[in-house]
Structure formats: structure tokens, C-alpha cells
Amino acid sequence: MDMIVRPRRLRTTEQMRKMVRETRVDKASLIYPIFAQDGENIKEPIEAMPGQFRYSVDQLPYILDELAEAGVQNILMFGIPEHKDAVGSQAYAEDGIVQRALMETKKRHPEMVAIADVCMCEYTDHGHCGILHDCYVDNDDTLPMLARIARTQVEAGADVVAPSDMMDGHVTAIRQELDKAGFVNTPIMSYAVKFASAFYGPFRVAADSAPQFGDRKSYQMDFHNRREALKEAMLDVEEGTDFLIVKPAMAYGDLIREVADATDIPIATYSVSGEYSMVKAAAAQGWIDEERIVGEMAVGAFRAGAGMYITYFAKEIAAMIDAGKIG
């Protein structure tokens, strides 16, 4: 058979395949979420997320050291306070759980990029992401609270703040507050495209953040909508966000690509708790090869257009990169 073009020529050896590889995965692009909890001497397993834990501040050095040894230099900090109230006051308290966790992180590993999640759902007694009026989250009344949370997090050592609330105008409110406080060089990583997703279930167990009534569909996005995702992303770009997040990752690769193509700022995607727990559950049954699945999911996210990957498998992916299994 007379064939001139033979794509298989570039697949003949492992080194050849690596040389022509189009998508690269780098440890510097991995971000690991951490759950910090009020209390002492706590390393509490999260039942819905096997292999993940809640850490009191005094136990954080152990996970931070593990990450540093693995070569993972970026973390995303969430907090679980002992006390909750209607306005989520522990979210912006100077001695709040995230603020203390950030201080410990920068003390232990100043070289790490510490990203702080900015939201209220873990801190409110109603479990919603903002200020309630007649069981409705009031967008404009929530904005000053988010700005205050972000400022106290940066004062505690956050290198980046990441608003996940999905309030309209949140980037503007936070940017103005940070600039007024002198933090003009602190970037904002906006959860611009965050869908009301069933993939978040295990996280709500981990962070004790499930809403006490209703749902979050009046502020998180309808997963049917593509054009709205681009609208949300571009609005946050206009407001001055420095990064964008598309969340979840696995079922939203098309939107990662569209957002990446539509803007020139860095794009992250969050491989959320449901994605993690499904892999763990199937692997426990022997139905899948966990390592290969994890690697394939990571490469898929980067191939779709993400430049950063927020994942509970960050340590495992780093080890796979070291071993030459992906990269």
C-alpha cells in the first residue's frame, strides 16, 4: 500500500511520543485544597473523601511538609469554624480559622503560594454564600462582607484571594477594598464559571457547608448554559480579576476551552470533590486503575485549556510526573 502520511511514525517509542506530546503537565501548575478546622490535635478523616482530612492549625505542618516534599507549592485554603452565625463573622475575624491557617502556612513554608477561598457558606448558620433577606441571598449586601473577608485573609498572609460566592460585582468590591488597604499587588482568582453541580456533594460533607434550606441555584450557574459561562467570565475580566476558575472540571472541558480561547488571562479548573470520590470509590472496588484514571483526568483538563489544576490528587500527580508517567 502506497501511503505517504503515517501518523503512527510518531508513536513508535516512548521517547518519540514524549517528544511530540502536545499537552504538558507541570508540578508548578498543581494546587492542593486544604480543610483547616478549629480545635487542636485534629487530623480527622473525611468519610466522603477517602484519603482527605480536616486539620487543626497545629497539625497543618504535616500536610504542608508532605506537599513541599512532593513538589506541590500551591495550596487553596478552606476553613471550618467552631461557631457559625447569620453573617458568617468567623470568615472575616482576624483570628478566624483560615486567617490562622494562612499565618501557619507562611511561617512554615513562606515559598508556597497560599490561595484563600473567599465565601461565607462554611461560616453561616444557614449554609448560604451571603447575607439573607427573607430567605434570599442579597447580592449587594453580601459584597462588603466578601471584601472584608478578602482583606483579612491577605493581612494574614494570603498571596491570592479566590472568591467562590458567585455574587455579581464581587471582583470589583474585593479589588477596591484590597487597593484601599494597600494590597494593590495581591491577585484575585475568581471562580467566574461555577455551576450549581451535583459534583460538590462530598465537599459539603467535608466543609460542613450544605445549605440548611433550598439550594444555591439563584447564584451558582445552570449547567445547561454555555453562553452564560462566557458572559460570567468576561464580566469578571472587565472587573479586573487576574485569574479565572472553571468549576467543576471533568464534565466541563468544553467550557474550559471556550473560556481559555475567549480571554488572555490564566485559567484554572477545579477537579472537585465528587470527581475525586468517584475515582476513589471505583478504585476501591477494583473497577478502574486509579493512577491511570487520575493522570488521564489531569491531562484532559490541561488539554482543554487550563493552565492550573486544583485537585485533591496533587501529590499523586506530582509523583506521576517524577516517574515520567505523565508530563
Residues 6+ apart with CB under 8 A from 292: none
Q: How far is CA 180 from the centre of its chain?
A: 26
Q: Verify whether residue 194 is a known catalytic residue.
A: yes
Helix (H, G, I), strand (E, B) or coil at 132: strand
- The owner of cell 468576561 is 234
Q: How far is CA 182 from the centre of its chain?
A: 26
Catalytic position from the list 84, 194, 280, 315? 194
User: Which of 170, 274, 147 is closest to 220 using CA atoms?
Assistant: 170
Question: Which burial class, exposed, middle or buried, applies to 50 when counting CB atoms under 10 A from its CB (0-12, 13-18, 19+)?
Answer: middle
User: What's the alpha-carbon Rg for the chain, to the nearest Å?
Assistant: 20
Cell numbers for 43: 487530623
Write the CA distances from 274 to 144, 163, 198, 200, 206, integer angstroms: 31, 20, 8, 6, 11
What DSSP assignment string belongs to 7-59? Answer: GGGGGSSHHHHHHT-S----GGGEEEEEEEESSSS-EEE-TTSTT-EEE-GGG
State how beta strands 74-80 and 43-45 pair: unpaired
Catalytic position from the list 84, 247, 280, 315? 247
Residues 6+ apart with CB under 8 A from 3: none
Q: Verify whether residue 106 is a known catalytic residue.
A: no
On whether the CB atoms of residues 175 and 188 are closer than 8 A, the answer is yes
User: Which of 185, 184, 150, 152 is closest to 170 using CA atoms?
Assistant: 150
Active site residues: 194, 247
